Structure formats: structure tokens, C-alpha cells
Structure 1
Amino acid sequence: MESRQLEEFLMQFVAAEQDFPFGPEVMVFKVKGKMFALLGERNGRYSVNLKCSPEDGEVLASQFSGISPGYHMNKRHWITVDLSHDVEVSMIKDLCERSYQLVVSKLKKSDREMLNPSV
């Protein structure tokens, strides 16, 4: 998956915002001020950091060489996915959706309701 494609995909989530709090090298994607993805380049390769449950992170890192504990993040709650490795596009998108939903689930009730008024 190309980094530009992933950037466009991440911006499709409800209330997604893009920010550069760590400098121009790392795009940070937030919902209601909370990070759910970080997209950047390291050593000529693009990767994305995504929020995950500790159990999922361990399993994913053991199954895919392109997934590792979160680079410069809490390694129990974040994973890093190398975009040029063995992880299929559909899996990357699914992991992005899970990360977004995990962050949304931890928001205040009023913020969650604003994002999904039908619930």
C-alpha cells in the first residue's frame, strides 16, 4: 500500500484530523484530539503506527514480519506496520479501522454520540 493511499483512507474516518506535532516527517491522525494513527518514513520505508489491544499486538507481531511493537510508542498498546512488507492492503485497512474504533470507544460519551448519532 502506498503512503498517499493510506493517508486518504485515514482521512475518511468521521472527524479525522491530520496534524504534525512531531515535525514534518510524521503525519498524525486524530479523532477528537486523540491519536489513532501515525504515518511516517524511516530508513526509506513507510510505516504506520496503530493502536491495538495488547493481545492483538502480540499475535500480529508473531504472525507477520511486517508488524512489530509500536516504534517510539507504548509497545503494549501500539503496533508498527511496514507498508512495503508482507501485510495485505485489506489487513492494513482493517487494522486502521480497529485503531480508530478503539480510540473512539475510549472517548467521552457525548463525543462518541456526536461521531455516531444513530447509537
Structure 2
Amino acid sequence: MHGDMLQQRARDRVEELPGAGLEHPFGPDWDVFKVGEKVFMLMTEVTGQPIVIVKADPEDGKSLREEYGDITPGYHMNKEHWITLHPGGTLTETLVDELVTESYLLVVENLPKAKRPVDPVRFGRTG
């Protein structure tokens, strides 16, 4: 996935997630996406390319960084819990959707139950 397509795909997925919102607490160069007042995704081009930063389970993040050249530790974030998605040829739309959704659910599951917009165990699962 190249250039702005990566950020647009991530943005499109966020629009489908209940309770997710966009803020600019770090200025206009950073899009910060939150659920329940907690950050689950950031987007910027301050690195010279459009990147997307999402939360990931530490073991999943390690595996993803090993498997995909376009995934690196989280830019300006905790390197154990965040990953950065870079434009390039290795990321698919489906993978971007899954990583954005997983980041969202990692944050939702740590919100007080009264503030959860969805049940993180059942959201997006059928049957």
C-alpha cells in the first residue's frame, strides 16, 4: 500500500468503529484517534512519509515487525506496545483494517465497562 492510500485506508476503518473520534492535541501535523478519551491510532507525515501508528500486543508486534518490512516499532511511542505502519508494498488493505481494529479493541478492553462503546470480546465476530 503506497503513500496516502495507507492513511486513507486506516481513516476509513476508524469511521466504522463505534465511539472513535479524531483530535489534534499535538497540532495540525498529527491526527490522533481516540475511543473513550484514550489514544488508539496516530497519523502524521512529520517523518517525511505518511505513517500510521497503532497499538499492538507486544508478542504480535514483534512478530509483525519480523514478518513485514513496512512495520517498525512505534514512532515516538512505547516500542513494546506500539507499531508504525509505513507505505510500501507489503501491507494489504485487510491487514491495515485488522491492525486498526485490534488497536481499537486493545484500548476498549481497558476502558471501564460503562465507557465501552462495544463489547471487545464480541465486536466484529459472527456466530
Same fold (TM over 0.5): yes
RMSD over aligned Cα atoms = 1.6
Identity %: 37
Structure 1 partner of 2:19: 15
Matches within 5 A, 1:63-102: 63-102=67-106
| Distance of 1:43 and 1:105 partners within structure 2 | 31
| Distance of 2:60 and 2:85 partners within structure 1 | 13
**Contact map agreement 1:11 1:18 (CA 8 A) in 2:** no
Matches within 5 A, 1:1-119: 1=1, 2=5, 3-112=7-116, 115-116=117-118
Residue-pair matches, total: 116
Larger fraction in strand = 1
- Give, in angstroms, the shift of residue 96 of structure 1: 0.4
Detail structure 1 runs of 4+ shifted over 6 Å in the superposition.
Answer: none
Higher relative contact order (CA 8 A, sep 6+): 2
| Distance of 2:50 and 2:103 partners within structure 1 | 18
- Give, in angstroms, the shift of residue 85 of structure 1: 4.0
Q: What TM-score do you get using the length of structure 1 for normalisation?
A: 0.89
